[in-house]
Structure 1
Amino acid sequence: MTDAPHNDAEVLALAALAATLTDARRAERFLSLTGLSPDGIRSRLGDRALLAACIAFLEGHEPDLVAVAGDIGASPEDLLRARAELE
């Protein structure tokens, strides 16, 4: 099971992406800054670069990073480690 850490990072990043997109203000900012559309995101859900970019987006505004981490039952440090694994 050598892929387990990567899978964990992907699962955590997917949860962070879902939490990001369920908050209207955060979702609007994410879509605006990335230029992605909802369809574009759906088509790239397995893309490690997209998942890492979502966490990087959250890092850009610490209150969002902390809020999303709390929403998904993780620590901000967990998210940062996941991003590093995904990059």
Structure 2
Amino acid sequence: MGRARRGRTHKDFPMTEDERYEAGMQVRRAVLGDAHVDNSLSKLTPFNEEFQEMITRHAWGDIWTRPGLPRHTRSLITIAMLIGMNREGELRLHL
């Protein structure tokens, strides 16, 4: 038995940190809407700024932009996960 094959990752498509952030921001805006993203960005503080950048770069830039699954499928997986975790507030963002 060999190792399980993994999907392609951001290592297969090298991008700079800034490029990953920009790609992530595009997807984040497409999925959640400009109003929500702008509202979140308007609430940045020195305490949460680095976290918001990391989420945009990693969750949206690495995970949502990598090949293998269409955006619709990623969205359905996210919705199912949020329902299972009873995260109503976050779920509303994805519906």
Q: Same fold (TM over 0.5)?
A: no
Q: Which structure ranks higher in relative contact order (CA pairs < 8 Å, sequence separation ≥ 6)?
A: 1
Larger Rg: 2
**TM-score scaled by length of structure 2:** 0.27
Bigger fraction of residues in helix:
1
